[in-house]
Amino acid sequence: MAQDLLLPEFIYPRLQSQRLGKTIHHFLETGSTNDAARQLAEQGAAEGTLVLGEEQTQGRGRLGRSWLSERGAGIYASILLRPVLKPRDAAVLTLVAAVAGSEAIEQACDLRTDIKWPNDLLLRGRKCCGILSEMQADRDDIRYVIVGIGINVNHSAFPAELGECATSLRIEGKQTYSRVALLCELLRRFELLYDDWQRGSLARVLQAWVDRSSFAFGKHVTVDLGRGKKLEGHTAGLSELGNLKVKLADGRVEEVLSGDIVAWR
């Protein structure tokens, strides 16, 4: 699928977003597209600058994990954003990215993903897309956010150590997909939702997330909060900042700002 390289000349003719992806930096190989995007951000690159890698040698995931980035098989993309917002509002951006990813996969590949809080996209309970947002902020203002998105598109298999946790669109849909088409749809959806959110339509973004997630309400979850702390209970929706509300056995409702759902039923 030589034509499906994520080269700017293949993307620009199909691009429907106005700002996201207007400037593209494409690497055949890079350490992490998030790191490359951060360098560009520090040099003053504009909002919407997009960094793409055909392969990452040090792809990073959330919570210090690595991200498998097989050459030419997935989408490894980082988008530079400069939202005019307070740092505490940035968590919602992660949900925006998850909804955009879920909508794009449905539109371009006809596969309906579930969103595991905060932003893992699942098919049959296995992860096909992850998002790593990294922010630089002063005390009161966001300087920029790098939203890194990894989608397992045309992977045919995963190493044994990932076991039952990972899947790809190809494995689930039993066909290969155009990464260019999926990426362009992702940028279009992302920009629409991002603009909605920046204009203050936060409730619409949160509702879109809830509509696409079986984790939003009534799911029994164990959340790893880090530093050896865990929390168990039933999910009870999102707070207005995008935190996950969990109802504990004693009836108290806790809001989780960051963490990892490690078990659910």
User: Which one of 1-9, 86-94, 130-138, 244-252 is the stretch in contact with ligand BTN (CB under 6 A)?
Assistant: 130-138
Q: How many residues does the structure list for the chain?
A: 265
Query: Two tokens at 153?
Result: 């598109």
- Nearest residue to 68 via CA among 26, 32, 102: 32
Output 76 or 190, the one with its CB closest to ligand BTN.
76
Task: For the sheet with 244-247, list strands across it.
Answer: 253-256, 244-247, 229-238, 217-226, 260-264
Residue of 25, 26, 38, 60 interacting with ligand BTN (CB under 6 A): 60
CB atoms within 10 A of CB 208: 21
Output 150 or 242, the one with its CB closest to ligand BTN.
150
- State yes or no: residue 152 binds ligand BTN (CB under 6 A): no
User: Which one of 61-69, 100-108, 177-185, 239-247 is the stretch in contact with ligand BTN (CB under 6 A)?
Assistant: 61-69
Output 61 or 173, the one with its CB closest to ligand BTN.
61
In the complex, residue closest to ligand BTN by CB: 130
- State yes or no: residue 61 binds ligand BTN (CB under 6 A): yes
- State yes or no: residue 133 binds ligand BTN (CB under 6 A): no
User: Which one of 15-23, 109-117, 146-154, 214-222 is the stretch in contact with ligand BTN (CB under 6 A)?
Assistant: 146-154
Beta strands in the chain (DSSP E): 24-27, 50-53, 75-81, 114-116, 120-123, 126-137, 142-151, 217-226, 229-238, 244-247, 253-256, 260-264
- Nearest residue to 35 via CA among 70, 69, 74, 86: 69
- State yes or no: residue 71 binds ligand BTN (CB under 6 A): no
